[in-house]
Amino acid sequence: MTKKNHSGYAGIIGRPNVGKSTLLNAFLGEKLAIVTKKPQTTRNRIMGVLTQKDCQIIFLDTPGILEPHYQLHQNMIKCAYRVLEESDTIIFMVEPAMPQRIETKIIERLTTYHKPSFLVINKIDTIQKDSLFPLIETYASMNIFQEIIPISALKLKGIDSLLMAIKTSLPEGEPLYPPDMLTDQPERFFASEIIREKIFKYYREELPYSTAVVIEEFKERKPKDFICAIIYVERESQEGIIIGKNGLDLKKVAVEARADIEALIGREVYLELWVKTRKNWHKSSNALKEFGYERG
């Protein structure tokens, strides 16, 4: 009997910092989505294509669902929920804890879609095994999940079982994208994401959430590609914090970001960073559109 091919979209949804981007990277074996210890890192839908002999799974990583406080949050939530409409299969990721208000809201939304849905309990390496059972029973009693799968995306535990479950839930069909395609986002998008990741790494408290990165120029040229990026902040006082004494903090961001960009695109890069103020950009529809956060 000829083995049937499966192909389709698998949307990954959940609250911030549950490990959605870590899971995407684990499936692809590539660092496609930036990952930090801080929540609300992902702001856009990120597509990652996994092509195997008998299937093609198009994963859609999403911003975390949270209680919105300003326009950027609203756009992120809209982006996440739109992925539910685009997906053939839904992966709802949670931490190993009883459902709270956010989880309840997401589950209410899931009940309006008649699609295969998997509950993925991530970070099982952080808890005692016995504490999983009441959690699984609670979610199982809701009768909306095709399967409940405990995993550790960071430790790569359980992801093979999850991958098999996703694969068999997708429609039968030929691949939707070329076999060598990894994502639909251009290199300049990932360059801005990598810079933003370094900002989240090196700056404390709320400052990373007040920043946006825009690639002004991305030119392929010899001997090095040229990238000019602007880091936007919301207040003039934040410019000095980003730059640091004698420019050392900004230089540290640039050095690490350049190395990661070069590793991603396979070419040498000259990276130029500038810092500018755009007051209250996260509340401005015009600024959000300009910065690429109006795609939902």
Beta strand segments in the chain, E: 6-13, 46-52, 55-61, 89-94, 117-121, 147-150, 212-219, 225-233, 269-277
Whether residue 261 contacts residue 269, with contact meaning beta carbons closer than 8 Å, is answered with yes
Tell me if residue 288 falls in helix, strand or coil: helix
Which residue numbers belong to the known binding site for GTP? 14-21, 61-65, 122-125
pLDDT at 3: 67
Whether residue 4 is predicted with pLDDT greater than 80 in this model: the reply is: no
Distance (Å, rounded) from C-alpha 7 to C-alpha 259?
Answer: 34
Does 296 have pLDDT greater than 50?
no
Alpha-carbon dihedral sign for residues 236, 240, 242, 247: positive
Each residue of 158-214: pLDDT tens digit? Answer: 999 999 999 999 999 999 999 999 999 999 999 999 999 999 999 987 899 999 999
CATH 3.40.50.12500 matches 187-290: no
Residues 57-80 have pLDDT tens digits of 999 999 999 888 889 989 999 999
Three-state SS for 27? helix
Residue 16 binned pLDDT confidence (cut-offs 50, 70, 90): very high
Based on DSSP, count helices (H) and strands (E) in the chain, helices before strands. Answer: 9, 9
Pick the CATH number of 6-169 from 3.40.50.2300, 3.30.70.20, 3.40.228.10, 3.40.50.300: 3.40.50.300
Torsion region of 259: left, alpha or beta (phi above 0 gives left; psi -120 to 50 gives alpha)? alpha
User: Can you state the angle between helices 236-243 and 248-265, rounded to 10 degrees?
Assistant: 70
Domain boundaries, the chain: 6-169, 187-290
Q: How much of the chain, in percent, has pLDDT values that exceed 70?
A: 98
Helix (H) or strand (E) holding 263: helix 248-265
> What single DSSP character describes residue 165?
H
- Tokens coding 43: 């702001």
Quick one: tokens of 257? 């970001």
Annotated binding-site members = 14-21, 61-65, 122-125
CA distance 214 to 16: 23
| Helical packing angle, 248-265 and 187-202, nearest 10° | 140
